[in-house]
């Protein structure tokens, strides 16, 4: 008796509102379906339904009337319309006996929904639609065949038991017997055997039909084929389980916050990393986010982490930040934290999702690589200096030795009696030649040191600045410096030695980056501006560092403000710029920092 009523939705009933409308042939054909639907809605909802319909008048015209369908079952029902205008009143009446009410209701509902069944107070089927019987391959006789003897309500089993999954029958039958004895509604889910041989999940809601005295006269209900819903629900649960397992096992530290910033979830890896779960650090009167930040963020990084969180919560923007985070064993590790807002269809923030990537090994490896590169650079400089010194000593030693020998010879000639002035003069000329040779050697080495031997070709400074930016990209990121490049259109080309001008830009930019290491990372901004000036091009490099205490000494050789500096970089840079016909100077940047400016003469014709 508990089975699916059709392939989709099965509707069950215990009474009927079907009846013949007096003068029904006088109802407009297009309104007859509306009447049937109103009766069905009244029956199913228990609420009277009022609709407008058209009725043929005696003169043959159609006139609008209000029609009211009442759910006053199971006794005779008279439903009278409220007539607008002249015409006789007409009624819909259904006089159903109590014993036939469930069957008639099932037949009406079959016309509306396609399948239904009903059973009497003993649990014996009184009706089942053909569609319902076909779907389970059982007739009324099959459904009512006694299996355990006695009536169902008294504990016997009927044939419909064979259409219920063995694991589900006892629970469903026990609950139905209880509801029938108590006269209470039945709501239950179980699996039904379909004609194809497969069990399909269904949800049943069965209700008692009562007479005017409140006595149960039969049972009706509605059943839903929930197999697709169950499979969909299972698929969703499996998808959720798989996603949760993916999150729990992902090689990252994942967490979530409520829209107001309160942490609500830590992944398994993050719990293991911290050594505690979300609520473990809660303190009265303090926001949970603040409690967790104080517990895990390095004191030197706490202020900037707070600021980034506050900015994101205020503006809804995501952020990424590298900082140190405390592990469960007390060791601080470098992590990269990223958070982003997850929004609903209305654009409101539903929650914040965050991820922390443990990059401590990477940061330390990069730092070791940087130190190794610096040591290697120093070693190369030392080797180059040693090689240069050896070259100078070797090359200059010969003319110096000649000068010394000739000077001694000249002294002897002049000390002779009488002095041999003519020979002494020739020796002096030879000394002068040796001195010029030494000067040429020194000049050659100086030119080699200042890289003044390269060709000067028309070049686009915009491209050169881009190359320098790419060259310093890693160092900019490591120092936390934001580089901005601005240039106007139509910048003329300049005739330069690209290597030397690149050396100037690199030197100035590196000095600026190193100067800004003393300020907060959020203030480290570097701007390169390329503009035209009369007869040439001007390049400005402005930083937000502490500035220079003395701009006059900045370009003097061996003057430096860095503990490890040699004080030659700016001096060489000015020499290179001036060798190209330009100027290099420094000014105070507004509001803070220093601004290095240099010009180069333009090459006629070519422009960027």
| CATH of residue 596 | 3.30.565.10
Same domain for 170 and 30, yes or no, is: yes
Same domain for 351 and 405, yes or no, is: no
Show the tokens assigned to 489: 């259109």
Give the best-scoring range by mean pLDDT among 136-150, 361-375, 525-539, 552-566: 525-539
What distance, in Å, lies between the first and last C-alpha atoms of the chain?
Answer: 88
Report the range of poorest mean pLDDT among 304-318, 420-434, 481-495, 516-530: 420-434
Spatial CA neighbour of 132 closest among 121, 119, 122: 119
Same domain for 128 and 32, yes or no, is: yes
What's the predicted TM-score (pTM) here? 0.38
Same domain for 501 and 594, yes or no, is: yes
Give the count of beta carbons closer than 10 Å to the beta carbon of residue 146: 13
pLDDT at position 112 over 70? no
Evaluate whether residue 608 is within a structural domain. no
pLDDT in tens, 378-406: 766 665 555 556 545 545 665 676 777 77
Mean pLDDT of the chain: 77
Same domain for 215 and 278, yes or no, is: no
- Categorize the per-residue pLDDT at 550 as very low, low, confident or very high, splitting at 50, 70 and 90: low
Report the range of poorest mean pLDDT among 31-45, 308-322, 389-403, 594-608: 389-403
Number of compact structural domains in the chain: 4
CA distance 333 to 268: 18
pLDDT at 60: 83
CA distance 457 to 349: 57
pLDDT at 564: 52
Give the best-scoring range by mean pLDDT among 45-59, 220-234, 574-588: 574-588
Residue 530 neighbours by CB under 8 Å, 6+ apart: 461, 462, 465, 485, 486, 487, 488, 491, 537, 538, 539, 540
Identify the domain boundary among 162, 192, 226: 226
Evaluate whether residue 233 is within a structural domain. no
Show the tokens assigned to 581: 């016909």
CA distance 165 to 227: 14
Evaluate whether residue 169 is within a structural domain. yes
Can you tell me the mean pLDDT for 247-261? 84
Give the count of beta carbons closer than 10 Å to the beta carbon of residue 164: 23
pLDDT in tens, 325-370: 999 999 999 999 999 999 988 889 989 999 988 888 888 888 888 8
Identify the domain boundary among 226, 241, 271: 226
Can you tell me the mean pLDDT for 1-8? 34
pLDDT in tens, 42-98: 665 556 677 888 888 888 888 888 787 776 444 333 333 333 333 332 222 233 334
Can you tell me the mean pLDDT for 409-438? 77
441: CATH: 1.10.287
Report the range of poorest mean pLDDT among 55-69, 105-119, 180-194, 240-254: 105-119
Same domain for 434 and 543, yes or no, is: no
Same domain for 306 and 277, yes or no, is: yes
Evaluate whether residue 242 is within a structural domain. no
Same domain for 353 and 368, yes or no, is: no
Identify the domain boundary among 358, 389, 406: 358
Tell me which residue range forms the domain holding 402.
364-449
CA distance 215 to 382: 110
Same domain for 188 and 118, yes or no, is: yes
């Amino acid at each position: 008796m508990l089975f699916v009523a059709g392939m989709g939705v099965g509707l069950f009933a215990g009474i009927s509102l079907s009846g013949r409308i007096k003068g029904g042939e006088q109802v407009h054909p297009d309104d007859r379906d509306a009447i049937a639907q109103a009766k069905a809605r009244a029956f199913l909802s228990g609420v009277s339904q009022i609709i407008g319909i058209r009725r043929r008048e005696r003169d043959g015209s159609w006139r609008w009337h209000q029609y009211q369908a009442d759910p006053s079952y199971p006794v005779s029902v008279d439903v009278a319309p409220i007539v607008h205008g002249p015409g006789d009143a007409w009624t819909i009446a259904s006089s159903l006996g109590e014993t036939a009410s469930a069957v008639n209701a099932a037949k009406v509902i079959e016309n509306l929904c396609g399948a239904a069944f009903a059973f009497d107070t003993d649990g014996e089927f009184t009706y089942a639609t053909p569609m319902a019987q076909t779907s389970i391959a059982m007739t009324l006789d099959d459904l009512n065949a006694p299996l355990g003897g006695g009536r169902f309500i008294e504990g016997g089993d009927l044939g419909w038991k064979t259409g219920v999954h063995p694991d589900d029958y006892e629970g469903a039958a026990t609950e139905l017997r209880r509801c029938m004895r108590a006269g209470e509604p039945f709501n239950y889910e179980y699996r039904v055997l379909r004609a194809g041989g497969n069990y399909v999940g269904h949800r049943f809601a069965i209700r008692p039909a009562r007479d005017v005295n409140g006595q149960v006269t039969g049972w009706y209900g509605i059943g839903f084929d929930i197999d697709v819903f169950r499979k969909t629900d299972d698929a969703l649960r499996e998808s959720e389980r798989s996603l949760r397992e993916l999150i729990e096992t992902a090689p990252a530290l994942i967490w979530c916050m409520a829209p107001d910033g309160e942490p609500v979830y830590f992944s398994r890896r993050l719990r293991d990393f911290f050594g505690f779960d979300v609520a473990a650090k809660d303190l009265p009167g303090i926001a949970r986010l603040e409690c967790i930040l104080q517990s895990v963020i390095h004191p030197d990084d706490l202020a900037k982490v707070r600021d980034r969180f506050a900015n994101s919560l205020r503006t809804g923007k995501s952020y990424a930040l590298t900082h140190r985070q405390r592990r469960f064993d007390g060791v601080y590790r470098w992590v990269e934290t990223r958070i982003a807002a997850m929004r609903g269809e209305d654009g409101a923030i539903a929650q914040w999702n965050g991820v922390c990537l443990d990059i401590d090994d990477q940061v330390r490896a990069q730092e070791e690589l940087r130190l190794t590169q610096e040591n290697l650079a120093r070693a190369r400089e030392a080797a180059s200096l040693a090689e240069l010194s050896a070259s100078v000593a070797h090359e200059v030693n010969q003319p110096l030795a000649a000068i010394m020998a000739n000077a001694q010879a000249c002294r002897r000639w002049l000390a002779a009696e009488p002095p041999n002035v003519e020979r002494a003069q020739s020796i002096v000329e030879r000394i002068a030649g040796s001195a010029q040779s030494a000067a040429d050697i020194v000049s050659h080495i100086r030119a080699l040191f200042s890289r003044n031997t390269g060709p000067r070709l028309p070049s686009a400074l915009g491209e050169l600045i881009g190359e320098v930016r790419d060259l310093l990209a890693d160092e900019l990121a490591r120092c936390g410096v934001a580089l901005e490049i601005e240039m106007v259109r139509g910048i003329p080309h300049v005739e330069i030695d690209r290597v030397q001008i690149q050396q100037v830009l690199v030197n100035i930019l590196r000095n600026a980056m190193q100067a800004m290491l003393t300020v907060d990372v959020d203030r480290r901004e570097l701007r390169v501006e390329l503009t035209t000036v009369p007869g040439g091009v001007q390049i400005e490099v402005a930083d937000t560092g502490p500035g220079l205490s003395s701009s006059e000494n900045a370009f003097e050789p061996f003057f430096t403000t860095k503990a490890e500096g040699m004080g030659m970089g700016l001096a060489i840079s000015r020499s290179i710029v001036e060798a190209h016909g330009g100027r290099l100077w420094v000014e105070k940047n507004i509001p803070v920092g220093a601004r290095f400016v240099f010009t180069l003469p333009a090459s006629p014709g070519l422009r960027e």
